[in-house]
Amino acid sequence: MKFDVELKIEAYHFQGIMQKFHNHFHEYYVIGFIENGSRYLSCKNKEYTIEQGDLLLFNPGDNHTSELIDGKTLDYRCINIQPEVMSKAVYEITGRDDLPYFTTPVIFHNELVYY
């Protein structure tokens, strides 16, 4: 885990993960991508199969769980953004005092992942 003091954003890199992530939620936004591996993901009572190249977007409070499907390890990178930091960024970009709401937790095979 790395924390950028200036941006006030955490960055994680999970490598070689095999364990199941039991149902949980975060109090912050999570924006991540699958670098390698495939998993079953359940988020807000919907099921997804996620794999390399997929972008994940979790709102604060989104219940989710995941587990391996192919016996291979997971490599995953993400950033965690506190709501107050996200609100400030949205205001700087749009001039509105709003928080975003991601309507889907998975964007499959997104070209942004490669950047």
pLDDT in tens, 72-94: 899 999 999 999 999 999 999 99
Whole-number Å distance between alpha carbons of 84 and 90: 10
Residue type, 37: G
pTM for this one? 0.90
> Regarding the domain with residue range 2-110, which homologous superfamily does it belong to in the CATH classification?
Jelly Rolls (2.60.120.10)
- Predicted confidence (pLDDT) per residue in 44-64, tens digit: 999 999 999 999 999 999 999
Confidence of residue 71 (pLDDT cuts 50, 70, 90): confident
Q: Of 71 and 92, which is predicted with more confidence?
A: 92
Q: Does the pLDDT at position 113 exceed 70? A: no
On whether the CB atoms of residues 50 and 115 are closer than 8 A, the answer is: no
Q: Residue 92 has what pLDDT?
A: 94
Could you give the residue ranges of the DSSP H alpha helices within 49-100? 83-94
- The residues spanned by each domain of the chain are 2-110
